[in-house]
Copies of this chain bind each other. A is one copy, B any other.
Amino acid sequence: MDKSSSDLRVVKTRAAIQSHFLELLLQKNFNEITVIDIAKAANIGRGTFYLHYIDKFDLLEKVMEEGLSETVSHFQPETYFDNGRAIPDRMIHFVLSMFGHFRENERFFRAMLFNKGIPNFKSRMQQLFLSKFRREISSMVPMTSGVDPITMEILPVFISSGMIGLVEWWFRNNMRISEKDMARKIFQVMTRGPLQTLGFTIEEKNEH
């Protein structure tokens, strides 16, 4: 049923397809890429493509999946909080290693983030961040037991979404900011909040 992926030929063909597909994605809109293009670029017969993937959407799906699950494996579960205290070093270290991973897989992330025809990628990446932050936050129940449930839902959404935006921005600016600086800035915003980071004093109001 499944092609024995230990066969050298299979490995080669799939690698060729995926690699040239990424290359094409960096050059033109996913909508405009045909199976013919892919086969031509990868130097394989068009029929061969269909021996491995259902269609180009399937290929995209597989490539995405693979790249993202590799990314996930860099989410080692650490404890960033210690009874409401602590944080800084471990948190910064986490963000640092994330951005390292992004830099190492620049081709993949550029293709996925910036190709105009690819839907969904940011959503799926956000999903990863989201479940990471959700796990993180809900694991500190003793600390956050007083916080209202809506806030508990909203925060990881806001954070994960904001993080994706930052990653995208970082790539768009050709990664000119060092991973270390990114980590520091993010830590700062997380702890002091956007407005205080900008130097504003907040006029307190009755909460809740």
Interface residues of A (CB under 8 A from B): 30-31, 57, 81, 84-88, 115-120, 122-123, 126, 137, 140, 143-144, 146-147, 150-155, 157-166, 168-169, 177, 181, 185-186, 188-203, 205, 207
- Contact between B199 and A150, CB atoms less than 8 A apart: no
- Contact between B166 and A198, CB atoms less than 8 A apart: no
Name the distance in Å between A199's Cβ and chain B's nearest Cβ: 6
- Contact between A144 and B194, CB atoms less than 8 A apart: no
Contact of A143 among B30, B152, B186, B198 (CB under 8 A): B198
Name the distance in Å between A197's Cβ and chain B's nearest Cβ: 6
Residue of B nearest to A181 (CB): B150
Contact of A198 among B31, B126, B137, B185 (CB under 8 A): B137
Residue of B nearest to A130 (CB): B165
- Contact between B87 and A185, CB atoms less than 8 A apart: no
A122: chain B residues at CB < 8 Å are: 122-123
- Contact between B118 and A189, CB atoms less than 8 A apart: no
Name the distance in Å between A189's Cβ and chain B's nearest Cβ: 6
- Contact between A151 and B185, CB atoms less than 8 A apart: yes
18 sampled A-B residue pairs with Cβ under 8 A: A81-B200, A86-B203, A87-B195, A87-B200, A115-B119, A116-B120, A122-B122, A140-B198, A144-B198, A150-B181, A153-B169, A154-B166, A154-B169, A158-B194, A159-B162, A161-B163, A164-B165, A190-B195
Name the distance in Å between A164's Cβ and chain B's nearest Cβ: 6
Name the distance in Å between A201's Cβ and chain B's nearest Cβ: 6
Contact of A207 among B57, B115, B116, B188 (CB under 8 A): B188
A152: chain B residues at CB < 8 Å are: 198
Q: Which 5 A/B pairs are nearest by Cβ-Cβ distance?
A: A161-B165, A193-B193, A162-B162, A158-B162, A191-B202
- Contact between B116 and A159, CB atoms less than 8 A apart: no
A202: chain B residues at CB < 8 Å are: 87, 191-192
